[in-house]
Structure 1
Amino acid sequence: MSPHDQPPLPAIGALVLDARRDRVGEVMDVICGRVLLRDPAGGREWEALPCDLRPATTGDALRARVADANDQAARSRL
């Protein structure tokens, strides 16, 4: 892929799906061609390449919220 074929960088605040990790993330920053993402519910940031990202669908965002709710319910049972 030539530099002219690079996918556009997502906007800060956008919800995207990181296909490599199968995780939805909110774009926190773009540094040197890498995108910093964070789970919409919070947590640690991770790096992704723009070619691994696509805009999150409504279903992707819902899946992330359900996973977070399930995690919180599991922690509350401990």
Structure 2
Amino acid sequence: MTVHDQPPLPAVGALMLDARRDRVGEVMDVICGRVLLRDPAGGREWEAFPCDLTPATASDALRARVADVNDQAARSRL
């Protein structure tokens, strides 16, 4: 892949699907060609390469919200 073939960098605030981790994240920043993502519900950031990212579909975003609700429900039972 040459410099001209690289995917465009996503905008801060965009919801992206990280295919390598199968996770949806909100773009927090782009530093040195790497994208910093965070779960839309919060938590720790992780790094991803732009080539591993695609815009999250409505289905991807819903899956992330359902996972967060399930996590909260599981924690409330403890």
Under TM normalisation by the shorter chain, which class is it? over 0.9
Give how far 1:34 is off. Answer: 0.1
Matched length: 78
CA RMSD of aligned residues (A): 0.2
Written as runs of structure 1 = structure 2, the 5 A alignment for 1:1-78 is 1-78=1-78
Give how far 1:52 is off. Answer: 0.1
SS in 1 for 2:73: helix
Give how far 1:33 is off. Answer: 0.1
The TM-score, its normalising length taken from structure 2, stands at 1.00
Q: Deviations over 1:7-31 (max 9, x none)?
A: 0000000000000000000000000
Unaligned runs of 5+ in 1: none
After the TM superposition, which parts of structure 1 deviate over 4 Å for at least 4 consecutive aligned residues? none
Q: Percent identity?
A: 88
